Chains A and B, each alone.
Chain A
Amino acid sequence: MRRVLAVLVLVTAAASITGAAAGGGIGLSASPLRVKLRGRSTAAVVVRNPGRRTLLVDVARAGFARSLRGKPEVRPGRGSAKWLRMRPKRIRIAPGAKGVLHVRAVPPPHATPGDHSALMLLSTRPLGVRHVRVRLRVGVIVDLRVRGRLVRRLEARALTVRRRGTLRLLQLRLVNRGNVTEPLVGDGLRISLLRNGRKLITLRPRSRELLPHSAGIAVFAYRGLLRGALVARVELSPPVEGPWRSFRIRL
């Protein structure tokens, strides 16, 4: 089912969102799309209505998680979402107008130190009384850091190779046992391929992050000509706690 939908027709046209909403449709936008809070603090989110109909937007909170491959997921009523206070909880926005929402983090005294993520969900009220009514929802990710001892501890569990023609996809399964969200971007995480102890090439993963106390897969694409048995050494910069490993693979 997902494969069918994965074959998307993603038409990139020059129609702006205001243009799409202006033809009688509806639109909703939020800025920023991610807010970072430290301890008890507040941030503002600006919500705009680019359409031609007045919108009534409900503001709610929800849990946030990522799939193994990093896709954001809404988890109703879970975890640290209950530490968020939003105001107002409902806002009416005229066509072309904007409103400002505030999200405040109130972590309890027993909150564990480190990073906690939740979602601020902005949902339009369904319009019309036809057969299928439509609602828009924008999720703003709220990253909350609770003060205390921060622990960075990543574990590399397994490395598998998928072959697609000349492309080799190295899939590294990781577990974040620390309490800090690990951004696996740039030089942060690398895999060096070695033969006879000599480093031949270094690969970097597709950008993603790994939430605390979660598992995920980092994907490294290799299009080169190296083939046969190799040693893949996982490297992280800056180094974190954790049993870093080398894996024997065959490209």
Chain B
Amino acid sequence: MKRIYLLLLFSLLALPLAAASARGSGSGSIVVGEIYGAGGNSGAAYANDYVELFNRGASPVAIDGWTLQYASAASTSWQSTALSGTIPAGGHYLVQLASGGANGAALPSADATGTSNLAVTGGKVAVVDDATALSCGASAGSCAAASGLEDLVGYGSAADYEGSGAAPAGSATNALARAGGGCTDTDDNAADFATAAPGPQNSSAAASTCSATPPPNGPSGSAGVDVDIQPLLSIALDHPTLSFPVAVPGTMPDPLPEHVTVTSNDTSGYTLGVHRTAFSPHDLPLGMGVGSGGLVAVPIAPTPDLSLAGTSGPSAAGGDIVATSVGFVSPLPSVPAGHYTATLTFTVIGK
């Protein structure tokens, strides 16, 4: 008897999971590729607002019953535009929206038409795989768990967005475009979008497949593994402050060690330099050495930096460690007793 109850319970639990799996068959593939909110405004490139969807996956996705939804920056009231049809892998889908005037060129033939009037300075656009209007969006992350949400883009002053921040606001001459030709989706609107000249594409446009494909859903299947490594430049120090022991004029305190670690995966290499501010209230002859080399006076800004290291290629995998020592190039001058401070600035720039 117990077994029958367990089976029944399992079946009840499995049903909604299966349903969710079926509904989410295109999950992650359909994204907002481009947003233009200045349609028809003075100086506008196009006469209507538009949102371009893009299928970054490897399979076609049916979007019958889906909606494109829009809410203003802090609003939780969403307007819906019905979507229909199928977007092939790498395909585009153009949704024409309201117009703010008679300026700008006509859009290419739209695949769906709505009446939402996108704000230029800030708003939220969502792709939802059903017709239920969202009710979130008043604060960051509030839409993250919304049912049916396929993609969310908060831009400009939007209160909600994916990731660390909103995408930048557009303008009359600039749309918001997803990086990588629509392929980049790190779930971080701030990082995934940039402004660019508007270029609306409808379903007639040539497909442009992405090299990375989202993993297919279902009980089995193979998943492509793909990762884009971004160029990175890092600098780190062992000691955020250096404190010399109590000293008297005419003496030279022992140098203090400071290890500078630079990590760069850029093939052009990097340069590492240092400068300082003058000591306050009177300057002292601060110097710096690399390895076993002698100390050299550290220049005071705006004099150009003292060069500490430079490469013509990437750093070692764990970073290049530059062993420096910070001390004084001559005995301390006869200055009034007191607490003397200065700031050292280490600068690293890619080549």
Query: Taking beta carbons and an 8 Å cutoff, which residues of A are in contact with B?
Result: 1-2, 4-21, 23-34, 39-44, 46, 48, 50-51, 53, 70-74, 76, 98-100, 102, 104, 119, 121, 123, 126-141, 206-208
Contact = CB atoms under 8 A, between A and B. Distances in A.
A11 B319 CA distance: 9
B231 A15 contact: no
Contacts of A137: 235, 345-348
B58 interface: no
Interface in B324-351: 326, 339-351
Contacts of A141: 349-350
A53 B292 contact: no
Interface residues of B, number: 80
A74 B292 CA distance: 28
B300 interface: no
Given A25-B236, A127-B240, A131-B243, A74 B342 contact: no
Given A29-B232, A102-B168, A133 B308 contact: no
A23 B238 contact: yes
Contacts of A129: 241, 341
A130 B171 CA distance: 48
Nearest to B256: A132
B241 A33 contact: no
B195 A42 contact: yes
B349 A53 contact: no
Given A20-B259, A33-B350, A43-B194, A12 B320 contact: yes
B230 A16 contact: no
Interface of B: 163-165, 168, 171, 173-174, 188, 190-191, 193-197, 230-244, 258-259, 261, 263-264, 266, 268, 270-271, 276, 286, 290-294, 296, 302, 304-312, 315-323, 326, 339-351
A100 B232 contact: no
7 contacts: A12-B316, A15-B319, A25-B238, A26-B240, A100-B188, A100-B190, A102-B190
Given A14-B317, A33-B264, A21 B236 contact: yes
Contact of B241 (A2, A14, A99, A133): A133
B302 A76 contact: yes
